[in-house]
Structure 1
Amino acid sequence: MGNAADADGRPEMLRLENLDTDIAPPRAAIEATLEAVGRDDANSYLPFLGIHALRGAAAERVSRTTGVDYDPDAQCIVSAGGLSGVLNTLLALIEPGDEVVITDPAYAGLLNRIRLSGGVPRLVRLVVTHDRWRLDLDALRDAVSPRTKVILTMSPSMPSGIVHTRAEWQAITEAAERADAWILHDAAMERILFTDDPVLHPASFDGMSERVITVGAVSKEYRMIGWRVGWIVGPKRIMNDIGLVSLTNVVCQVGIAMPGAAAALIAEDDGVAAATAEWKTRRDIIVKEMRDLPVVVPDGGWSLLIDTVALGMRPDLAAERLFRHGAIAATPMIGWGQEDCAGRYLRFVFANEPVARLEGLRERIRQSWSL
């Protein structure tokens, strides 16, 4: 869909298919990156696990969120982006055939990284309650078994935008304890919240810090997609294994990008609050435009889903019609979970189009779908 939109050339094409954003990164991050380009120490394989300034800033970020004191030298590794960190952690944790519990819908990239690492995804359905997503706690209990090695979490999640409640987190952490499983938490969007609730992190729950591994990145909150920098923070007993996988799989991170990432993490104003307010405004205009359609309202993140099957269309056909007749690029969620759950939905990303271009969206949808 992204390639098709690039090739199309129509200036009116709404780019709602890809997780980009037009909101600039922190100025401090750009300046630190530009300065690093000319430095010899930034043009190096070393240090293999990331520069100390970034490991310190990332460990401090996770410590501040969780209330757990993490040692940057023994409990933090820099990864070449968040998803690289997820894959390397999965490779360190599981053996072929081990089960990994994850919600449905889920990012296809996470599902495929579970498979690449030899794991078997066990999908837990999200259900729609009052136009918002909720975790099916009965389905969670049924999915977790003695074969469960990892519960892979994300809140806000992509593509759904679910933000787990305290009760949902409590159920997740209790399930991990019963199965003696790890929780691998993808925290890429944890501060992109459209509610007034504080950030909830599984490592902050009683007794969980020794089984929770956090993967973060500068891509979403800090708007630094092209830097490809993330971090892995977790218990000392597993970090050496993850470090060995990282060395084998990627070798090192982007040297000239790490100083910019460190600068973003310690910036006095990282711009996350202002960016989140703007993304919320864009979410609100799409929800308003589509208020008579089966849209599930996200409580955070960059995207929302519409149930096109409820309108009598498979999401791939709905996407084709939108592209041809409405100049809207959107992504069908086929392959992002089970056919009768994720496979019902079409995804709209609202991070990369300003409000002025989103106005009138409903009429373009009407013309495309004859609604």
Structure 2
Amino acid sequence: MRPNSRFAQVQPFDIDKVASAAGADPDVLRLENLDTDVPPPPVAVAATRRSLEEGTGNSWLPFTGLPVLCEAIAAELRARTGIDYDPLRQICVTSGGTSAVMPVLLATTEPGEPVVLTDPTYAGLLQRVRLSGARPHLVPLRVEGGLWRLDREALGQVPAAAALLLMSPSMPSGVVLDREDWEAVARVCERTGAYLIYDAAMERIVFDGHPRISPCQVDGLAERTIIIGSMSKEYRMIGWRIGWVAGPADIMSRIMVATIYNTTVASGYHQYGAAAALTDPAGAGVAEAAAEYQARHDTVLAQLDGLPVVRAGGGWSVLVDAEAMGLTAADLSARLLERGRIAATPMTAWGEDVAPRYVRLVYSAEPVERLSDLRARFTAALG
């Protein structure tokens, strides 16, 4: 093949390799992938089925999202941020949240410009920065008091940036950024002229009473923030592949062009299902699902008490420090599968200095009952 510089630094996912090695053995704990057994909202299923039966979603148009969904997203964002987004000019529907990342990067960065992310971060964010031609600048997360915390000192030393690409709670660590973190982000954005690209896919899946703080509520960030949302995590609608982007009207005009020329349009059938979930008076089960994920998270930590597992502030996963146990992350992942019948992914492609020493344990698809022998499985793996 001819060389292609876009792929020079891109690292492959290991999730599919671990999943393939695990096969279909029902005894294996599936802690490698962000699927979930918590069902999607019944109203979303009913609306999607109705759209299929009636054929209402069988269209190429409108390219940037059905009005009913864009209006539902605008109402959702108004409740979360206090900001009124114009459904036509400031919201664009995408084929899942991660599919929104590349159009946003193409609209906000030039080749070679730095984009700030945390280490660890979601590999789908980090590798897309590289594919876009921008350059990742990784700011470490530190373990303090048993929790992940943003290294604000390192963040404050960022010399230049086109954008900061951040999640809260973040995959894979579950770090939840507090107001002081977002204020530090605002200072960097002000100093460098950067956009904040905020992946809000898990914003309401928080534990232990952590306050949910939208960066749009912090002085200086609302006019710089581009929000990426998704139906996959909070609403458990992974297969729908519906996400969105919302932000200032001027930059959204470019993002819409990039989105249209990338995927043309998200599934119309699924957009009706997403709109039904977002407007469900009962809340689409988001709070109940978050409580279930916390119960699973707490079970994992109780089972692995005494091992180097870092408590998450929210999300669907925790990280275990393989190097603290005298192993590489790849070795621990292999042992967990071969000896403990646990499928878990090494964080090789999820950072630079911090992430590669960790293995991720995802609890979104395994109920508390299945997690109750996690310690015994770890003991078998490490023995």
Q: Same fold (TM over 0.5)?
A: yes
* 1:335 corresponds to which of 326, 338, 349: 349
Matched, 1:275 2:289: yes
In structure 1, the partner of 2:5 is: none
Determine the structure 1 residue equivalent to 2:9. Answer: none
CA contact (8 A) 1:302 1:350 kept: yes
Matched, 1:76 2:76: no
Question: Offset at 1:3?
Answer: 5.4
Which stretch of structure 1 is more off in the superposition, 63-72 or 353-362? Answer: 63-72
Aligned amino acid, residue 262 of structure 1: A
Contact 1:305-1:347 at 8 Å conserved across structures: yes
Matches within 5 A, 1:51-70: 51-70=66-85
Question: What is the match of residue 176 of structure 1?
Answer: 189
How far the C-alpha of 1:4 sits from its partner, in A, is 5.0
**Offset of residue 8 of structure 1:** 3.2
1:5 and 1:327 map into 2 onto residues whose CA distance is 12
- What does residue range 18-97 of structure 1 map to in structure 2 within 5 Å? 18-97=33-112
C-alpha contact (below 8 Å) 2:172/2:319 kept by paired residues = yes
Alignment equivalent of 1:214, drawn from 227, 239, 248: 227
CA shift, 1:197, in A, is 3.3
- Number of residue pairs matched by the alignment: 367
One-letter identity of the residue aligned with 1:208 = L
Indicate conservation of the 8 Å contact 2:190/2:220, yes or no. no
Paired residue for 1:246? 259
Shift of 1:198: 3.1
Structure 2: segments with no counterpart, 5+ residues: 1-14
The within-5 A match list for 1:1-371 is 1-2=15-16, 4-5=18-19, 8-142=23-157, 144-146=158-160, 148-269=161-282, 270-338=284-352, 340-370=353-383
Alpha-carbon separation, structure 2, partners of 1:301 and 1:271 = 15
1:227–1:9 Cα change, 3 Å: closer
Counterpart Cα distance in 2 of 1:4 and 1:125? 26
SS at match of 1:103: strand
In structure 2, distance between residues paired with 1:65 and 1:210: 16
2: CA distance between counterparts of 1:248 and 1:115? 20
- TM-score, normalised to structure 1's length? 0.97
Report how far residue 246 of structure 1 moved.
0.7
Q: Distance in 2 between matches of 1:9 and 1:85?
A: 31
Structure 1: 5+ residue runs without aligned partners?
none
Cα RMSD (Å) = 1.2
Identity of aligned residues (%): 47
Q: Write the distance in 2 (CA, Å) between the matches of 1:96 and 1:175.
A: 20
Shift of residue 5 of structure 1? 4.1
Change (3 A) 1:19 1:27: same
The whole-number CA distance in structure 2 between the counterparts of 1:206 and 1:334 is: 36
Shift of residue 40 of structure 1? 3.4
Q: What is the deviation of 1:360? A: 1.5
* Residue pair 1:81, 1:217 contacting (<8 A) in 2 also: yes
